[in-house]
Amino acid sequence: MTRKYNWKTGCDVEATLSVIGGRWKPILVCRLLGGRKRFSELCRLAPNATERMITLQLRELEADGIISRHVFREVPPRVEYEVTEMGRSLQPIIEAMQDWGRDFKKTRLVQESRARETEVARA
């Protein structure tokens, strides 16, 4: 399956976002950087995503060469996913996103806590 790209801005960030943009793709790549996973494992690791959404995101990641899909001819069938070499090159980006997100959450929690304290002091 080949994806078609419609890069409108010419910005390289747009190309990156076309591959890992969205809510679930970075999370799926992050989980797969830890090693090969079965579909059901990925569903458990992203509990708010529907199975259909995970399937669609995995298909796009596979079409972009970020992950590979391994089908085992068993009954019941078993499918596993893992990052490719190209996918592994996303590791520094994903780790930077994790670090930034961790710092952002800390900052927001402190701000929210201070705001609550201010509201309580006014009451």
Q: Is 7's pLDDT higher than 60?
A: yes
Q: How many CA atoms lie within 13 A of 108 on its CB side?
A: 6
Stretch 85-96: mean pLDDT: 96
pLDDT digits (tens, 9 = 90+) for 38-53: 999 999 999 999 999 9
How many CB atoms lie under 10 A from the CB of residue 61? 25
**pLDDT category of residue 15 using cuts at 50, 70 and 90:** confident
Prediction pTM value: 0.84
* Per-residue confidence (pLDDT) for residue 117, from 0 to 100: 87
Contacts of 17 (CB under 8 A, 6+ apart): none
Residue with tokens 């961790």: 102
Helices 51-63 & 25-33 angle (0-180, nearest 10): 70
Mean of pLDDT values over 80-102: 96
At residue 34, the pLDDT reads 95
State the average pLDDT for the chain: 92
